[in-house]
Chain A
Amino acid sequence: TQLLEQSPQFLSIQEGENLTVYCNSSSVFSSLQWYRQEPGEGPVLLVTVVTGGEVKKLKRLTFQFGDARKDSSLHITAAQPGDTGLYLCAGAGNYGQNFVFGPGTRLSVLP
C-alpha cells in the first residue's frame, strides 16, 4: 500500500511570511496532486504534477515534484489570510491504482 506523509501537521504564520509544506513517500507515484480544503467544504484541486522535477506556479503558490517522483513540496510566498485551510497531497500509482491522500497540513495565516 502506498502511503503519503505530510509535514508539518500544523502551521501558524503571520500574513506576509513565506512557507513550505512537504509531501513524502517511499513509493513512486505516476502523478501527484495538491488540494486545499476549507472547513465544511470538499477539497479543491490546485495542481497536478506528473513529471519528475516538474515545477508549476499558480500565482503565489509554487509546486515541485521530486526527481524520483516520491515527494513534492508546496511553497507559498507572502501568505494571506485567504490561504488558510487544509492542504492535502494525493497520488496514484502507475495505472491510477492505489490513489491515496496524505493526512494534510493545516495552515493558519494570521492577519
Chain B
Amino acid sequence: GAGVSQSPRYKVAKRGQDVALRCDPISGHVSLFWYQQALGQGPEFLTYFQNEAQLDKSGLPSDRFFAERPEGSVSTLKIQRTQQEDSAVYLCASSPLLGAFARNEQFFGPGTRLTVL
C-alpha cells in the first residue's frame, strides 16, 4: 500500500519483557515521528528522525525507550523492561518535508496497541 504501515498491530507483553515496534514510512519520506497515545488522550511526541539522524528525542519518557532508523527508511521503537504504564497506542508518522515544516504534513500509520500485563 501507499500509506504508513506499522507492525505488529497488537502486542501483549508481560511486565519486564522487551518489545520492538516497527514502522514502514511512505517511500521517500525524509521525516519520521513516533508518538505515544494513552487511552482517551491525544498523541504525545516521543522522537523525530530526519533521514537516519535522530534530531529530537526529548519526548522519550525514560532510558528504557530507544528508537532507530539506520538506513533512513524503516524505524524501530524498542522498549526495554516494559512497565504497565507503557500500555498505550504507539503511532508512527512520516512526512516528505523537513524540520519544522514536517509537522505541517504528517501521514500517520494505524498504530501498535501495546498492552503490558
Contact = CB atoms under 8 A, between A and B. Distances in A.
A92 B101 CA distance: 10
Q: Looking at A45, A97, A99, A102, which has the most chain B CB atoms within 10 Å of its CB?
A: A99
Contacts of A44: 108
B106 interface: yes
A101 B44 contact: yes
Interface in B89-117: 91, 93, 99-111
Contacts, number: 53
Interface stretch (A35-43, A64-72, A74-82): A35-43
Interface residues of B, number: 23
Interface stretch (B11-19, B35-43, B69-77): B35-43
B66 interface: no
Nearest to B93: A42
Size category of the A interface is: 20 to 34
Contacts of A104: 41-42
B4 interface: yes
A48 to B, nearest CB: 5
Nearest to A98: B45
Interface of B: 4, 35, 40-45, 91, 93, 99-111
Given A90-B103, A99-B45, A100-B42, 20 more contacts: A31-B104, A33-B104, A42-B93, A42-B108, A42-B109, A42-B110, A43-B108, A45-B105, A90-B42, A92-B100, A96-B100, A96-B102, A96-B103, A100-B45, A101-B35, A101-B43, A103-B41, A103-B42, A104-B41, A104-B42
Interface of A: 4, 31, 33, 40-45, 48, 88, 90, 92, 95-97, 99-104
